[in-house]
């Protein structure tokens, strides 16, 4: 048996104390990526409803191919969608079309009431107001030309080259397939090979690689946060530290650029 010197034992003890004081964030994605900053990870479904006045503040008009004018998404999602449309065409020769994008609570409510009157009951085709992913301004329905000519959308669309390409590639642009065929029990929504949801690149890549629904991901994250805080960690503080801008580089006194910051501040007094 190797005998440890008293100094080594003390060091070991100190290391253990330090480890006990500083809990480790265990989730595969960094804490600040899953904290939901900017609202990109907002979950909505039949049991988690958005308020009737939930309306994203940064909606912009889409500039990509669409079945009609006036579609909107949140700014970051709109940019990502443009990049995805361009890649689909350049890499695979596929032309995508927007069929639906942002829908306000009021629009969803009108659609829902209209469906109720037509069918006489909630048949699950139109999402209950407040439960639609489209209200987040991050959900978008994408089709190929042939399907824009059809009356409705069915899971059959999943057999098209466009659907296959989108499922394979959407995560590169920050989108997930929101309603996967094998997650219908969890999402409460049928397989919708046309519905993509922006969550940002790192999260989208993690979710698609692991075939996670947004419901499962949200659950995983809340468990990771709970585990971290059970060990004495402060999740908010951890995220704040990770989001903090890098330390400024201190310039030497002799450096003539040392006071350049002052002139920047003075530019717009
Ligand atoms: Zn949709």
**CATH number for the domain harbouring residue 83:** 3.30.1380.10
| Ligand 1 center to 140 CA (angstroms) | 6
| Ligand 1 center to 33 CA (angstroms) | 25
Tens-digit pLDDT profile for residues 200-254: 999 999 999 999 999 999 999 999 999 999 999 999 999 999 999 888 887 766 5
Mean pLDDT of the chain: 91
Residue 247 lies in a domain: no
Higher confidence at residue 170 or residue 263?
170
Specify whether the CB–CB gap between 217 and 203 falls below 8 A.
Answer: yes
Q: Lowest-confidence range among 8-22, 71-85, 115-129, 203-217? A: 8-22
Residue 158 lies in a domain: yes
Q: What is the CA radius of gyration of the chain?
A: 24
Residue 206 lies in a domain: yes
Cα three-residue angle 248-252-255, rounded to 5 degrees: 110
Higher confidence at residue 15 or residue 242?
242
| Ligand 1 center to 231 CA (angstroms) | 40
Domain that holds residue 217: 31-224
**pLDDT over 70 percentage in the chain:** 88
| Ligand 1 center to 27 CA (angstroms) | 30
The number of distinct structural domains making up the chain is 1
Tens-digit pLDDT profile for residues 37-55: 999 999 999 999 999 999 9
Q: Lowest-confidence range among 15-29, 86-100, 136-150, 154-168? A: 15-29
| Ligand 1 center to 153 CA (angstroms) | 10
Residues 262, 246: Cα–Cα separation, whole Å: 19
Residue 14 lies in a domain: no
| Ligand 1 center to 190 CA (angstroms) | 11
Residue 231 lies in a domain: no
Q: What is the pLDDT of residue 267?
A: 44
Residue 37 lies in a domain: yes
Ion ligand 1: residue ranges with CB closer than 5 A: 141, 195
Residue 12 has pLDDT above 80, yes or no: no
Task: Write down the pTM of the prediction.
Answer: 0.85
């Amino acid at each position: 048996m190797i005998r440890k010197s008293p100094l080594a034992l003390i060091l070991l003890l100190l290391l253990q104390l330090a480890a006990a004081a500083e809990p480790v964030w265990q989730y595969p994605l960094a804490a600040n990526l899953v904290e939901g900053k900017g609202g990109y990870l907002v979950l909505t479904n039949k049991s988690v409803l958005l308020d009737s006045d939930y309306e994203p503040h940064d909606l912009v008009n889409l500039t990509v191919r669409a079945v009609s004018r006036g579609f909107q998404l949140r700014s970051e999602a709109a940019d990502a969608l443009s990049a995805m449309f361009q890649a689909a065409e350049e890499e695979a020769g596929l032309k995508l079309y927007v069929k639906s994008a942002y829908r306000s609570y009021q629009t969803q409510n009108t659609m829902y009431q209209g469906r109720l009157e037509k069918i006489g009951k909630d048949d699950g085709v139109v999402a209950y107001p407040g439960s639609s992913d489209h209200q987040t301004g991050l959900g978008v329905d994408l089709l190929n030309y042939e399907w824009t000519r059809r009356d409705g959308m069915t899971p059959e669309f999943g057999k098209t080259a466009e659907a296959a390409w989108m499922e394979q590639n959407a995560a590169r642009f920050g989108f997930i397939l929101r309603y996967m065929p094998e997650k219908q029990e969890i999402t409460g929504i049928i397989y919708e090979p046309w519905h993509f949801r922006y969550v940002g690149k790192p999260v989208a890549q993690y979710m698609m690689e692991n075939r996670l629904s947004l419901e499962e991901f949200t659950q995983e994250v809340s468990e990771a946060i709970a585990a971290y805080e059970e060990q004495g960690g402060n999740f908010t503080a951890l995220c704040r530290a990770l989001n903090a801008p890098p330390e400024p580089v201190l310039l030497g006194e002799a450096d003539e650029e040392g006071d350049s910051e002052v002139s920047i501040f003075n530019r717009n007094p």
